Amino acid sequence: MKKYVALFGSCMFLVAFFSMYLMLDQLNLHGSLRSRVSMEMGQTELDFIKDKMENLENDIHHNQQIIDEIRNSVKQIIGGENMSKYIPVQRNMAPLVEEVPDSPVQAKIETGDCSFVERQGEHSDDVQMLDVLDILPFDNPDGGVWKQGFDIRYTERDWDNQPLKVFVVPHSHNDPGWIKTVDRYYLDQTQHILNNMVDKLKVDSRRKFIWAEISFFSMWWDNIDAEKKDAVKKLVENGQLEIVTGGWVMSDEAITHYYAMIDQMIEGHEWIKRNLGIKPRSGWAIDPFGHSPTMAYLLKRMGLQNMVVQRVHYSVKKQLAKEKQLEFMWRQNWDHGASSDMLCHMMPFYSYDVPHTCGPDPKVCCQFDFKRLPGGRVNCPWKVPPVPISDNNVAERAKLLLDQYRKKSKLYRSNIVLIPLGDDFRYDKAIEWDQQYGNYQKLFDYMNSQNWHVEAQFGTLSDYFDAMWDRAGLQPGSPGLGYPVLSGDFFSYADREDHYWSGYYTSRPFYKNLDRVLEAHARAAEIIFSLALAHSRHIDVPSFPAKNAYQMLIGARKSLGLFQHHDAITGTAKDFVVVDYGTRLLRSIMDMKRVMIDSAHFLMSEDKSQYDPETTTTFFDMDEKRINHDALPEKPILQLSQQTKEVVFYNSVAQARHEVVRLRVSSSTVEVQDASGKVIPSQTNLVWTAAQDSSTTEYELVFIVNVPPLGLSKYLIRDAGSEVNNPYNAPSQVTLYNTGSPESSVRGVFHISRPISDNRDFTIENSRLRAKFSGTTGLLQSVTTVKDGKETAMSVEFLMYGTRETKKDKSGAYLFLPDGEAKTLDTNGKAVIRVIRGKILSEVHVLMKHVEHVITLHRSPGIDGWSLEISNVVDIRDQRNRELCMRLKTDIKNSNQFFSDLNGFQMQRRKTLSKLPLQANYYPMSTMAYLQDQDTRMTIHTAQSLGVGSLQEGWLEVMLDRRLNQDDNRGLQQGLLDNKRTPNQFRLLLERRHQRTSSPNGGGGKQTGVDYPSLTSHSVSQLLNHPVYAFIRNKLPGEGPAGDVKLSGSVQPLVKALPCDIHFVNLRTVQAMDAPAPTQESVLLLHRKGFDCSFPANGLSCSTTGGKVQLEDLFRDLDLTDIKATSLSLMYDGQVLNSKSTLQLDPMEINAYRIRLD
């Protein structure tokens, strides 16, 4: 009997193959038939079938082998079960010209919404950083005592008319994690610094101090008594203690995303408001490794008036110093007016320590760091130690110090000079306070008593800036200071020689990825929690676990905030500190899943009054699990049966999503229904367990979901078992190359072919794009836009950089110091290639030694059908001093220019300069980078921050991982050897301009730093950064087979989708003043994105409205009251609005509103 079954199966299979072949032959011969099916999908599918038939032809030569193979596999599979289930014929032959919806859509753009971008020529500035980089020779001559600068001269009479005002600002730079964990630093140093501060500032009201990191300050606050808290408040009130910036941390500025930058500032500023009742006025960023204008913008819109930056390329500092431009109004590249102008003070010298802050000569300045008095643990490397100030030496010492102050002041315009007095973790011992404050007071008293036209004193940072505004006769923060206007950014940073800090853009990429995973989870959880909470109030269901969930949200805000620290997300902390951060990130990711599950459960319940959060198993599972902070995510398997299983999808963006989702399921024959019960197309794929082996218990299920803006949609999935009459579900077809075996085979419903001729190029395609791959390497060669038939060369390569051979100065956590050009990984013809073709998506897998590289093309009507997805899993743990990059080589004529984003907020023009070393031409990329010419733009979108460069015309490369065996002498004292198997994900978007631009890369006229992604590109970025989340319904104990809780088909919290160019940044429930509990107030953050209209807005079904949002169109079934515009971190409230008001957003701006939703 068994034998008969096997033979019958094999015969059916072959009969079907041949009849399909003949049918196709006919299709090709008869044009009329062909045209009937050649609408978008048809054409694609035909080519696909042709490809398949070619493979079949090969296979026919081996038909005997196939028959044997089939016979064997059918025998194995059947094992006595019902045979019909396993006859693959009908499944393989399911109609392939099928009902995947595929009508192209385009956004409707309101006339006028393109004019902002087109008017970019109006921007005016005095200093454009791109010009500065063009002009500078980067020759690094010896400047004398100020090694990287020049000799500064003055005459004693310079201050006859206006005395020199000196503000000495004591500070202590506390890293929330670096060489020690944040907790260890707190215990060992920070708590003592802050305790000493209270004691020592009380001694003399002329003493001042500034503090930046609220993460540490809040830890200390929780450990001190009420009396001490009162003492601190007094110090704040009388101006002795100033909180500067007031963020949770002093965040990195290169690789952070603006969501997290804002969030950690809100967390800090809200803490300050609740506990100290003040508003920070000045920003203080002395240690981040390069500076971004995004930070200036955010501080401005938060209501701060001034800011200080420090780590800027030494040649840039010198140039700005020469022109007296170290203090400037920092204007956004995209700002047509002056509303973004932020007063910025750039520190002139090498470092923020005392030897490099009192004046140009570190040998002199070091003598005025009284912690370095002989007998202490630190000394002066310039070999002249400080001496205590006495009546005998004060005249000489004061004169020597004043000389430095005067020289430093000559680099600025105001006759007021800022002298920071501190270093890392300073003032932790009581004696240091006495040494510094005591000796300096003697010096000030003496200076001020002489006829030297100087007024020296301790000051806070705002004391310094206030004096400056005051001398100009202006209110702080008002226009009219008359300082030069500067636009652009300060990357990449070099502190000496050719030591560019461009390695950290990529260091510890695993955690840069994990950071973005938490960011996406946190944002999605904040929004769905706020909605669920408001609805629970609206219908008065108190059982929603608001307080518990809110505490998890607070925890996640803090974990995410902490990781924005400039030694955390940068990958520049000790291994065990990285583990500490990773553990916190993972815990918060799990907490955010729980918040989303509880909120989705509540919102989806048809009868919310029956909502019960006290379930022993959670109501939903999410479709991704991580067992450890350094493990790759795993997908749980949906155990399917004939009974349908409910899966709910959540879209956290405010435009509808129509895109492909993937789940793991226990069956290869599946039926998917939407909430109305309509069966929808789906595809099943094998799950690979080794190069050629696949699981027999686990399959990938792929289908297209429709999820409303900020909403939830339910889908039903079941095992279709032996039902052969299911044309909507089709298994993918697999072709394996480079396996060394020409045999084809059948695995269950899947057919696997292994063509003999391995080296022919092949394609995968949908109705928009055709991607061509090398048959030898499996790597992408070119992409053709189907509509116009234009092909753009786009080859993918993987390469390795080495590091310098010299004994000192090799690459490390901070520095990228390559040994020359990168060398191509030689995988030619060796890597196993898998090509998977299906009706919803097609994929090419290339299994190289250090990279598992997958390119996917979706046949989706949504935005995901317009770009290629690239997923890599990188593993370089067997390497020594190597850095792995992925390079795209195109024929785009971008000259020497490309564009990379800053913090996901704005694009910055980059020029690859041949006068600079390779490592100087690497830049940070948080969300995207692109190359363009008159006709074409290629954008690479990323799901995590990494370093990027365009080293030759047409090239764009991304650094993927770095393994470095040594320290690079910036204090970390270790290499980077804790590499993991690291995932990274990109999307490649190829766009054709529908209006030719004469000079897309500048050229002629004044160059600007600004450029804009298309609307499509913005949406592609959202795919990666705000994924659709899946919730899998669990069966609860005691529930009947269908479950007791009825779920809605969908939840649509918005009346209308937001306009395409408006991003719903967050809906963040505000914390109560006196408890870690939610209030009825939320802050709504909206960002109107600038976009380039010269590209079609493909794949979008939304429209633009000139930046108008009707409040009535926002939240469905909720009362919206108490609406007020507010500053970005909620410190200053503005215009009061009502529920009928229209919000008006300007391009590029992020706006915040306080709202009450019940």
Q: How far is the CB of 175 from Zn ion (least distance, A)?
A: 4
Peptide bond into 543 cis (omega under 30): no
Q: How far is the CB of 173 from Zn ion (least distance, A)?
A: 6
Looking at 113, 287, 567, 621, which residue is catalytic? 287
252 is a site residue for Zn ion (CB under 5 A): no
Q: How far is the CB of 250 from Zn ion (least distance, A)?
A: 7
Nearer to Zn ion, 461 or 647 (CB): 461
Nearer to Zn ion, 275 or 351 (CB): 351
Q: Which stretch binds Zn ion (CB under 5 A): 4-12, 286-294, 1112-1120, 1126-1134?
A: 286-294
Nearer to Zn ion, 287 or 953 (CB): 287
User: Residue 1029: helix, strand or coil by DSSP?
Assistant: strand
Q: How far is the CB of 287 from Zn ion (least distance, A)?
A: 3
Written as one string, the DSSP assignment of 1072-1091 is: PSSSSSEEEEEEEEEEEPP-
Nearer to Zn ion, 289 or 715 (CB): 289
Q: What is the DSSP letter of 438?
A: I
Q: Which stretch binds Zn ion (CB under 5 A): 280-288, 394-402, 726-734, 1103-1111?
A: 280-288
Residues 133-192, interacting with Zn ion (CB under 5 A): 175
Selection from 935, 959, 936 nearest residue 949 by Cα: 959
Q: Which residue's CB comes closest to Zn ion?
A: 287
Q: Which stretch binds Zn ion (CB under 5 A): 141-149, 287-295, 698-706, 869-877?
A: 287-295
Q: How far is the CB of 330 from Zn ion (least distance, A)?
A: 22
User: Residue 807: helix, strand or coil by DSSP?
Assistant: coil
Tokens 């289908």 sit at which residue?
703
CB neighbour list of residue 449: distance below 8 Å, 6 or more residues apart: none
Q: Contact at 8 Å (CB) between 416 and 165?
A: yes
User: Residue 401: helix, strand or coil by DSSP?
Assistant: helix
Q: How far is the CB of 566 from Zn ion (least distance, A)?
A: 6
Can you list the alpha helix ranges (DSSP code H) found in 30-99?
31-36, 40-61, 63-78, 89-92
Q: How far is the CB of 219 from Zn ion (least distance, A)?
A: 17
Q: Which stretch binds Zn ion (CB under 5 A): 67-75, 281-289, 365-373, 894-902?
A: 281-289
Q: Euclidean distance between the first and final Cα of the chain, in Å?
A: 69
Q: How far is the CB of 178 from Zn ion (least distance, A)?
A: 7
Among 125, 267, 287, 843, binds Zn ion (CB under 5 A): 287
What gap in Å lies between CA 1093 and CA 952, rounded to an integer?
28
Nearer to Zn ion, 351 or 896 (CB): 351
129: left (phi over 0), alpha (psi -120 to 50) or beta: alpha
Selection from 967, 958, 804 nearest residue 887 by Cα: 958
What gap in Å lies between CA 944 and CA 260, rounded to an integer?
13
999: left (phi over 0), alpha (psi -120 to 50) or beta: beta
Nearer to Zn ion, 174 or 340 (CB): 174
The two structure tokens encoding residue 97 = 């010209």
Q: How far is the CB of 168 from Zn ion (least distance, A)?
A: 21
- Our CA angle for 1054, 1060, 1063, nearest 5°, is 70
Nearer to Zn ion, 175 or 327 (CB): 175
- Our CA angle for 12, 843, 777, nearest 5°, is 105
What distances in angstroms separate CA 902 from CA 512, 630, 949, 1088, 1112, one per listed residue? 15, 27, 14, 16, 33
Q: Is 891 exposed, middle or buried (0-12, 13-18, 19+ CB in 10 A)?
A: middle
Q: How far is the CB of 927 from Zn ion (least distance, A)?
A: 25
Torsions phi, psi of 91, nearest 5? -65, -50
Q: Contact at 8 Å (CB) between 234 and 241?
A: no
Q: How far is the CB of 271 from Zn ion (least distance, A)?
A: 20
Q: Which stretch binds Zn ion (CB under 5 A): 11-19, 261-269, 284-292, 1083-1091?
A: 284-292
Beta-carbon neighbour count of residue 843 at 10 Å?
21
Q: How far is the CB of 978 from Zn ion (least distance, A)?
A: 20
What are residue 649's DSSP bridge partners?
Answer: 713, 1030
What gap in Å lies between CA 645 and CA 1091, rounded to an integer?
41
Written as one string, the DSSP assignment of 837-856 is: E-SSEEEEEEE-SSEEEEEE
Q: Which stretch binds Zn ion (CB under 5 A): 285-293, 344-352, 373-381, 663-671?
A: 285-293
Nearer to Zn ion, 972 or 1155 (CB): 972
Nearer to Zn ion, 175 or 432 (CB): 175
Beta-strand pair 750-753/733-737: parallel
H/E run at residue 425: none
Selection from 284, 317, 424, 275 nearest residue 1071 by Cα: 275
Nearer to Zn ion, 424 or 809 (CB): 424
Selection from 440, 432, 13 nearest residue 197 by Cα: 432
Q: Contact at 8 Å (CB) between 968 and 1018?
A: no
Judge whether 59 counts as a catalytic residue. no
Can you list the alpha helix ranges (DSSP code H) found in 79-149?
89-92, 115-118, 129-135
User: Residue 800: helix, strand or coil by DSSP?
Assistant: strand
What gap in Å lies between CA 311 and CA 323, rounded to an integer?
19
What distances in angstroms separate CA 509 from CA 255, 578, 860, one per listed residue? 11, 12, 30
Spatial strand order in the sheet of 1062-1071: 1062-1071, 1078-1088, 1150-1157, 1120-1126, 1133-1137
What are residue 957's DSSP bridge partners?
Answer: 887, 949
Number of residues this chain uses to bind Zn ion (CB under 5 A): 2
What gap in Å lies between CA 839 and CA 986, rounded to an integer?
22
Q: How far is the CB of 967 from Zn ion (least distance, A)?
A: 17
Nearer to Zn ion, 175 or 1061 (CB): 175
The two structure tokens encoding residue 721 = 């078992």
Residues assigned a catalytic role? 287
Applying CB under 5 A, the residues found at the interface with Zn ion are 175, 287
